Amino acid sequence: MKAYEDLLNRLREIDLIGQIGSLLSWDQEVLMPKKAAPLRAEQLAWISKTSHERLTNPGVGELLEEIESVGDVGEVQSANIRLVREAYDRATKLPTDFVEEMAIHRSRSIVSWTEAREKDDFSIFRDDLAISIEQARAKADFFGYENLRYDALLDLYETGLTVERLDPLFSGLRENVSPLIKAVVGRGLRPDLSWVIDNNWSQKSQEELSQSVAEAIGFDFSAGRRDLSTHPFCGGPNPDDVRWTTRYNEDEPFGSLFGSMHETGHGTYEQGRPRHLDFQPAGKANGLGIHESQSRLWENQVGRSKEFCEWSLSLWKKFFPENMEGVDSDQLWRAVNLVEPGLIRVDADEATYNLHIMIRYEIEKRLISGDLQVDELPDAWDEMYEDFLGIRSTNSSLGVLQDIHWSMGAIGYFPTYTLGNLYAAQLLEAARSDLPDHDEQIRKGEFSHLLNWMRENVHSRGSLLEPADLIEEATGSPPSPDAFVSYLSSKVESLYGVSA
């Protein structure tokens, strides 16, 4: 059909514009000199404005109507039309000048957040954050919503996600997880971490370890790269150019390794997208919850498993021979699975991680509704950490300034991290039934079996289905927290001998 071919040609141009923007954004966070920030803001604003103008061109709407009138089409075409219709209807609700304004502010806000974090001074970021909140409210109003303004923002990152769906999910998780954490803390057992604390962990050796593990998992470095940034992320324009970052702390090595495994999970997903659907919406990754399932799977359910620790011990000893002298795989396994309330989300253990997300979720709801003002945010943050985890931050860098998301205007994003944890457990449970030798394969460092299962059941399916439908197709069951709760309960019992 000519109309469909014409639409695909338009989508190709829009996608190419987005790919250019992704490179500029990556450069801004990794290599760009500070003085370049004002002009980079203008460049990215032009990219956003141009892409928005192309997508909202009336010709796109006319082509959609013509194609939709035909009726019965194949799976790929049906998915493309569904996704373009959603994007077109959403984009046409946003004025072009508003899109440009958001892009300019995003670039400026990332700079002020970075400075505020470095100087531990919330006031540097305060005004830009206030603008980001106002822009998020305005964006939600442009999109429209049935019940809550925040729902319109949640739906941006996971189709169909609402407060009504999330509230009981988070409540149920907290009811199951909080008793586990209390039981562990009450037991008072703590693994021996002296071999971690008493040593210096050189950045060079951490880099070598991260590189080796990422290569072993299956990330193709001829089609990607690893770099350093303030906040780890995975980006890049296409499956042939996937770029992820991590960060290093010479006081401890686990943050860099598991941050690297997290971003490697994102990266392998991007590299595994269906190439025959390049430039088409159906060929894109399927929502942030699914994306996060891939990163959390490799970071936690593989990376913190006993089998992985047995395999990786030789790498630890290779790159840190003096530090690892006398350390066995059981000590490593217990150290990387320390269950202990902490301040930093990205360093949180599997038991406490979702509580960090719940705090951000509750704060975002209140910020968007107007029940919480920006000036009240630092105190509200500390009070919620006291309530949920029993700890308080000693400064803003460890507290309200730790995440980059709000500087990017990504409000409504955080809940997808918890969805990713739940999806990951459900996917691994399904993969295990097809891979009866999974544990032994991980113990031997044979990661291709699991990666290929994900390639077949998740990566290659792109966005042909909506996220919940993809999970049901891959696992045989609709999304549920049951697999995660079962997995976590079993693991905590093995580590600490306690149960909820």
Looking at the annotation, which residues are catalytic? Answer: 263
Query: From CA 31, how far away is CA 328, in angstroms rounded?
Result: 39
Tell me 129's DSSP state. H
27: Cα separation from own chain's centroid: 19
CA 346 to each of CA 200, 260, 410: distance values in angstroms, whole numbers, following the listed order: 21, 11, 17
Count the neighbouring beta carbons within 10 Å of the beta carbon of residue 358: 22
Q: Scanning the structure block, which residue is given the tokens 């709801």?
A: 365
- Report the sign of the C-alpha dihedral through residues 213, 218, 222, 228, in that order: negative
Tokens of 464: 């042909």
Phi first, then psi: give them for residue 466, nearest 5 degrees: -75, 155
Alpha-carbon dihedral of residues 427, 433, 434, 440, nearest 10 degrees? 100
Alpha-carbon span 363 to 357, nearest angstrom: 10
What are the C-alpha distances in Å from 281 to residues 51, 62, 81, 198?
A: 14, 18, 9, 50
Residue 313 identity (one-letter amino acid) = L
To the nearest 10 degrees (0 to 180), the angle between helices 37-55 and 75-91 is 120
Q: Looking at 112-223, which runs of residues are DSSP E strands?
A: none
CA–centroid distance for 479 within its chain: 18
Amino acid at position 289, single letter: G
Give CA angle at 480 (474, 483), nearest 5°.
Answer: 80
